[in-house]
Amino acid sequence: MTVSVSARTRGHRRPPERNIPAAEGLAQRVHQARQRLSVQQFLAELFEKRWMEPAIPLAVLVGVALYFTITVPTFATSGTLLSTTQELSEFAFVCVGMAVVMISGGIDLSVGSMYALSNMVALLLISVAGVPVAVAIPLTLLAGAVMGAVNGAIVAYLKARPFLTTLVTLIIFRGVLNLLDLTYSARTAESSVDNPLWTFLGGGAVVGIPAAGAVLLVVLVVGHLLLSRSRFGWHIVAVGASRRAARHAGIRVERMLMTSYIVSGIMCALAGVFYAARLNSASARVGEGLELSVLTAVVVGGISLAGGKGTVWRALIGAAIVVLLGKGLLLMNVSGNVYQAILAVVLLLAVGLDVKWGKNRGKAIQKIYVNPTLVSYDELPDVRHGSGSPYEVNDRLRAAEGIGVGQVEGPEDVILDRQGRLYCGVRQGWILRFSGEDLSHREVFARIGGHPLGMAFDADDNLVVCVGGMGLYSVAPDGTVRKLTDETKRTWTRLRDDSRLRLADDLDIAPDGKVYFSEATTRFDMADWILDGVEGRPNGRLLCYDPATGTTETVLDGLVFPNGVCQSHDGESVLIASTWLCRILRYWHSGPNKGRTEVFMENFPGYLDNINRASDGTYWVALNGMRSPAYDLAMRMPAFRRRMMKQIPRDEWLYPSMNHGCVVKVSEQGEVLETLWDAGATVHATITSMREHDGYLYIGGLENNRIGRIKLDPSRRDEGHPAAPRATVHTG
Amino acid sequence: MPATETLHLIREFLFPGRYERAAIPSLDGGLAANDALDAFDTVTSEPVTEPDDVLVGPDGAVRVTSGRRVLRVTGGAVETVATLPGDAGAMAWAADGSLLVCVAGHGLFRVEPDGGSPQLVADRGSDDRPLHCLTAVAVAADGSVYLTDGSTAHSGPDWIRDLMERNAAGRVLRWDGRDRTAQVLRGGLAYPHGVTLAGDGSGLLVTEAWRHRIVRLSLDGASVRDMTRTLPGYPARITPGPDGTYWVALFAMRTQLVEFVLTQREYVAEMMRTIDPDFWIRPALRTLNSGLAPLQGGQVIKLGVLKPWAPPRSYGLVARFDADGDPIESFHSRPGGGRHGITGVRQSGDTLFVAAKGGDQVLTTKAGAGR
């Protein structure tokens, strides 16, 4: 009966999940492939990544470098590169200092003056005071630290605004510099330092890298470790992110602020030392306007002006962009004024983007995260009264008696044990047990958390449960809960990490003890199931947990909301219900057909939920809602769904008709045998599961406040209706 | 993704929350939601099939149009007064004491108060277009008859097509009784569904369903201005109430989904082409409780309860507006209630009659009772 083609490969492959039935023509396939790809989804997942934040500045840097390499012939020569590296290193020291201050939530405008003053101090110490170079360098760094401490003390302890404070110290330090310059310019100008260390710092190289570059690397590595891996770094970031929260957490905010400014001072001094060693020039004009370039670099690099965000690498990237830009423009003979103007524009753009991106990134991702795709169904089977269809609406479920009415909230699945006790999971995260006469005695069997969904008993009478939001759990007969698995191997071809189980939905246990279970969607949480429905993409998968080894692996990937999972009567295959595609797949996990996937039944008039074996060699299938023509049409129009999602609130969205579910009995050959409806949605609005036990059928529903029970009439056996013809299925 | 959507996305990114859309006013003030309509008495013990309009005669008996028939209800007993060739709608007493009945697809008929064969008295406008969609009739003190014709594109039962096509093809007419032609006072209205004379006799009040408002029209139709602000529902008939106020029946509520779908022309065209009108995304007079009808997120039955705030596919609402167009009081039947699709409302003495077309009942209450 079931049409299929030979399996070319074995193991893990895409199942025949198609959103368009029988898309055989080339044009249709291309159309569908185009519908499957989604630039938006790619972008959303990309921008969700943390490493995307420095990726944009990095791309800009690469772009700038490429542009000048191509347009300016002298740009990429080794001489230029060497001198660029040296300049970049000096500049990057200052940028790192500024970055630390900005990460702590402040700003340091005095960097230019500190840098120039350090340069002067170093030269004075060496050439005027005659201090040995090896001593003069630490002394210069100390001078930088003192200048930073002045800033820090005023900002941290006197609670002055960093902007104004550092603006004032900018003028003061510059004033001191001018004063020193007036007094000593004649003596610094004529002196020259003859010291191997000094010469090395100014022009030497370590393995081809200028000395300044080598020191910069060390500073960057140490800075990175300090910022990202040490208590000091975390405290700095915490202070920058929220000063009040940091204080409440017991962080010494003042000390941290003070330290960050001292770091900035030392970095400026370091840059000053290298500058002094390179040029031996104690001009008063050194470092004028440097704060603009540094600020531009740091912001372009992606360090937020708001604080609490940034790394030293970003400072380096920003610095490189600004230095390369300057160098390239210089080589292109662009005047310094134009360069300043360009820098200002870049700063403006970067600040604007920083504010907008920082504020709206999450929203922007949210806006483009859900990407509806084309889902096209075959013609909707007529279920109306008098249609003569095997799915014809009737009132048979209306006679169901209620168990635990008002005592259960959302029994997605129901199951009975050997003693005839009834179990169901509820939205409180519990598993309830009903026992006694008429199953009227209710008790909490286990408290797991999450939302327990599909259930099955293993050979040792442990209740194995899929828990939405948590994973696969096992409950022993005495009620103790044990986690079986909550992760699988990550799909490396995907941007998003999908190793954690997000929505384990239903399971069944194979004769060899392996647990086959479905994860309905890897992209959405359980409360957002409708988003997966609106999207209609193959986001789910079939997993297998092997209790012998304790490992979990992905058996089938790319399923469209796989929901119910049911072991076939012969024990060789599992049936998998694909909710949004309204079809059942069959996957052979053993036997001669092992590894093959095919469509078992399709074009149901509703959305499939759980599947269970019936006592007579057939299967029970729950339809949690009906397909409405309006929703079918919307599924064919992805752009319509996307606009709907964006423009109106969720309570107003067009939903699948979840208020009208039914139970369908199908044969091993895929024929519809009978259908049980609750036509007016009087008591069982949604039907997500059913379980046959001892001549009764028990009915559970995700949104219901009861479990239904209806006595099955053993004499009733409708004529088998042939199922709709099935499409040929390709595997691999 | 179309360019306009990309632009919207960028704008939304730069200025979140500034993206504006036509808003549906909320049910507050005089329109605050309640379940009063569900507590009204019924005029008859048996349901009346789709009552469209209700009118009280000088004899005190209630006339109701239901399907093709005009019924007379006296003390719970129902008798058929007249049978018409099409669906009977609005009614009014003519100056000569006969009953004027609007009939979908035909025009205006005169029925003698005690029955007898109905007589077609007006069937086309002065613009030579037929009166296929007469929605309301009102008689002035001087005996002239004012009519509203909902649409020249569709006749009465097809009103939903007129909404989906976003037509504004309705007319207000005056019939002077001389021949079968009525003079068009104003055209281009978006489904005028009710007309009454303003209390001061200075003009007409006309409900414009697809524009969700009541307009004030001069007697010659030359000037038109809004009487109410935008309403949360689609207004049907308007009739005089006590002290210069007006009763307005609102036959369905607007929902954000319908407002949205109306802007999606491609979807609407495909929906109208391929789907049974009962299962369209649309406002309706009654809720079918069928899985084939579209469902909205808020309408999902949770733990056996349909939320009263669920987006209404059908709704029952009668409201009283003062002369300035502000709502004073209202009676509702919310989702889950059954008295939906109110098309007619009429006050006689201190008794209020309401025709719930979607609820198959004619309701009544004494003024002041249950308010």
Convert the pLDDT of each residue in B163-191 to its tens digit. 999 999 999 999 998 899 999 999 999 99
Quote the pLDDT of residue B368: 59
Mutate to test the interface with A, among B8, B275, B301 (most CBs of A within 10 A): B301
* B264 lies within 8 A of chain A by CB: yes
- Cα distance from A298 to chain B (closest Cα, Å)? 23
d(CA B270, CA B268): 5
Measure the CA–CA gap between A4 and A11, rounded to whole angstroms: 17
In chain A, which residues have their Cβ closer than 8 Å to the Cβ of B296? Answer: 651-655
Please give the Cα distance from A501 to A552 (Å, whole number).
Answer: 11
The answer on pLDDT for B17 being more than 70 is no
The pLDDT score that the predictor gives to residue A274 is 93
pLDDT score, position A2 = 37
Q: Which pLDDT tens digit goes with each residue over B34-72?
A: 999 999 999 998 899 999 999 998 888 999 999 999 999
Q: Check: CB of residue A64 under 8 Å from CB of residue A324.
A: yes
CA distance linking residue A641 with residue A661, whole number of Å? 23
What percent of chain A clears pLDDT 90, i.e. is strictly above it? 55
Question: What average pLDDT score do residues A212-223 get?
Answer: 94
The whole-number pLDDT of residue A172 equals: 95
B residues 333-362 lying closer than 8 A (beta carbon) to A: none
CA gap B284, B252 in Å, rounded: 6
Looking at the partner chain, which of A384, A652, A681 has a beta carbon nearest the beta carbon of B255?
Answer: A652
Partner A contacted by B4 (CB < 8 A)? no
- How many whole angstroms separate alpha carbon A649 and alpha carbon A655? 12
pLDDT at A256: 95
Which residue out of A633, A644, A707 would a mutagenesis test of the B interface target, given it has the greatest number of B Cβ atoms within 10 Å? A633
The C-alpha atoms of residue A534 and residue A605 are separated, in whole angstroms, by 18
Give the pLDDT score at B59: 86
Q: Is the pLDDT of residue A343 over 90?
A: no
Mutation target among B300, B307, B309 for the A interface, most CBs of A within 10 A: B300
Question: What pLDDT, on a 0 to 100 scale, did the predictor assign at position A495?
Answer: 82
pLDDT of B320: 95
Mean pLDDT of the region A530-556: 93
Residue A70, H or E segment: helix A52-71
Tell me the shortest Cα–Cα distance from B7 to chain A, in angstroms.
13
Q: Quickly count: other Cβ atoms within 10 Å of residue B35's Cβ.
A: 15
Q: Which residues, other chains included, contact B197 with Cβ-Cβ below 8 Å and sequence gap of 6+?
A: B138, B140, B141, B146, B203, B204, B205, B240
What is the least distance, in Å, from the CA of A344 to any CA of chain B? 21
- Which residues in A lie closer than 8 A to residue B5 (C-beta atoms)? 643
* A67 has pLDDT over 50: yes
- B298 part of contact set with chain A, CB < 8 Å: yes
Given a cut of 50, whether residue A380 has pLDDT beyond it is yes
Asked if the Cβ–Cβ distance from A625 to B299 is below 8 Å, we say no
Q: Which of A280-284, B37-41, B185-189, B300-304 has the lowest average pLDDT?
A: A280-284
User: How many whole angstroms separate alpha carbon A264 and alpha carbon B26?
Assistant: 57
* Band of pLDDT at residue A387, cut at 50, 70 and 90: confident
Instruction: Note the pLDDT of residue B53.
Output: 95
Q: Is B222 on the interface with A (CB under 8 A)?
A: no
Q: How far is residue A607's CA from residue A586's CA, in Å, rounded to a whole number?
A: 17
Which chain A residues are closer than 8 Å to B14 by Cβ?
A: 356, 360
| Contact with chain A for residue B300, Cβ under 8 A | yes
Number of Cβ atoms within 10 Å of the Cβ of A78: 8
Which chain B residue shows the shortest CA-CA distance from A528? B297
Give me the pLDDT at residue A257, please: 95
Write b or e for each residue in B116-149: b if 16 or more Cβ atoms lie within 10 A of its Cβ, otherwise e: eebeebbbbbeeeeebbbbbbbbbeeeebbbbbb
Which residue out of A368, A659, A683 would a mutagenesis test of the B interface target, given it has the greatest number of B Cβ atoms within 10 Å? Answer: A659
Residue A412 pLDDT more than 60?
A: yes
Given a cut of 90, is residue A37 above it in pLDDT?
no
Both tokens assigned to A189 = 């100008």
Cβ pair A606:B279 closer than 8 A: no
- Mean pLDDT within B202-230: 92
Chain A contact for B287, CB < 8 A? no
Task: Give the pLDDT score at A680.
Answer: 73
Tokens matching residue A210: 């200028």
* Interchain CB contact of B272 with A (< 8 Å): no
In terms of Cα–Cα distance, which of A99, A708, A712, A717 is closest to A403? A708
Task: Retrieve residue A58's tokens.
Answer: 């990095």
**Chain A residues with CB inside 8 Å of B265's CB?**
none
Q: Are A699 and A397 in contact (CB under 8 A)?
A: yes
Does residue A563 register a pLDDT over 50?
A: yes
Q: Which residue of A has its CA nearest to B298?
A: A651
Q: What percent of chain A has pLDDT over 70?
A: 92
pLDDT in tens, B83-139: 999 999 999 999 989 999 999 999 999 998 777 789 999 999 999 999 999 999 999
By DSSP bridging, strand A414-416 and strand B124-125 are unpaired
User: How many Cβ pairs within 8 Å bridge chains A and B?
Assistant: 132
Per-residue confidence (pLDDT) for residue A7, from 0 to 100: 37
Going by pLDDT thresholds of 50, 70 and 90, the confidence category of residue A286 is confident
B11 backbone dihedrals φ, ψ, rounded to 5°: -65, -40
| Beta carbons of B292 and A628 less than 8 Å apart | yes
Read off the pLDDT of each residue in A662-686 and give the average, rounded to a whole number. Answer: 88
Kindly report, residue by residue over A527-538, the tens digit of the pLDDT.
899 999 999 988
Cβ distance A636 to A655 under 8 Å? no
**Beta carbons of B303 and A648 less than 8 Å apart:** no
Mean pLDDT (whole number) for B10-22: 64
Nearest residue on chain B to A648, alpha-carbon basis? B256
Lowest-confidence pick of A27-41, A122-136, A158-172? A27-41
**Over residues B233-242, mean pLDDT:** 94
Residues A162-187 pLDDT 10s: 999 999 999 999 999 999 988 888 77
The torsion region of residue B360 among left (phi > 0), alpha (psi -120 to 50) and beta comes to left
Determine which helix (DSSP H) or strand (DSSP E) holds A639, and give its type and residue range: helix A638-647
Q: Return the DSSP state at A590.
A: S
Sign of the Cα pseudo-torsion (B104, B105, B107, B108, in order):
negative
Beta carbons of B292 and A384 less than 8 angstroms apart:
yes
Q: What are the chain A neighbours of B294 within 8 Å (beta carbons)? A: 628, 630-631, 654, 657
Residues in B touching A648 (Cβ below 8 Å): 256-257, 260
Is the per-residue pLDDT at A260 higher than 50?
Answer: yes
Q: Which residues pair with A507 in a beta bridge?
A: A517
The answer to whether A397 touches A708, Cβ cutoff 8 Å, is yes
Out of B255, B280, B291, whose CB is closest to A660? Answer: B291
Residue A106: pLDDT over 90: yes
Q: Average pLDDT, stretch A409-437?
A: 93
* Rg of chain B taking only CA atoms, in angstroms: 20
Asked whether A137 and A273 are in contact (CB, 8 A), the reply is yes
Q: Which of B12, B293, B311 lies nearest to residue A651, judging by beta carbons? A: B311
Token pair in block for residue A70? 């191509």
Cβ proximity of A95 and A316 under 8 Å:
yes
Question: For B130-166, what is each residue's pLDDT tens digit?
Answer: 999 999 999 998 889 999 999 999 988 899 999 999 9
- The two tokens of residue B355 are 């025709």
Q: Do B9 and A657 touch (CB under 8 A)?
A: no
How much is the pLDDT for A4?
38
For residue B93, the model assigns a pLDDT of 94
| pLDDT confidence of residue A724 | 39
Give pLDDT, residue A728: 33
**Which whole number is the average pLDDT over A449-475?**
94
Yes or no, beta carbons of A652 and B292 under 8 Å apart? no
Please, how many CA atoms are within 13 Å of residue A241, restricted to the half-sphere of its CB?
14
CA distance readout (Å), A687 to A37, A310, A412, A504, A567: 33, 51, 8, 18, 20
pLDDT at site B360: 94
| Residues of A whose CB is below 8 A from B275 | 629-630, 633
Is the CA virtual torsion A716, A722, A727, A731 positive or negative? Answer: positive
Considering only CB atoms, which chain A residues are within 8 Å of B271?
630, 633
CB-CB under 8 Å, B257 with A654: yes
Work out the end-to-end distance of chain A between its first and last CA atoms, rounded to an integer number of angstroms: 22
pLDDT recorded at residue A633: 95
Instruction: Say if B128 is an interface residue toward chain A (CB within 8 Å).
Output: no
pLDDT for the residue B199: 85
**What is the average pLDDT score of chain A?**
87
Say how many residues make up chain A. 732
Q: Count other C-beta atoms under 10 Å from residue B161's C-beta.
A: 17
What H or E segment, with its residue span, contains residue A89?
helix A78-103
| pLDDT classification of A19: cutoffs 50, 70, 90 | low
Mean pLDDT of A182-205: 81
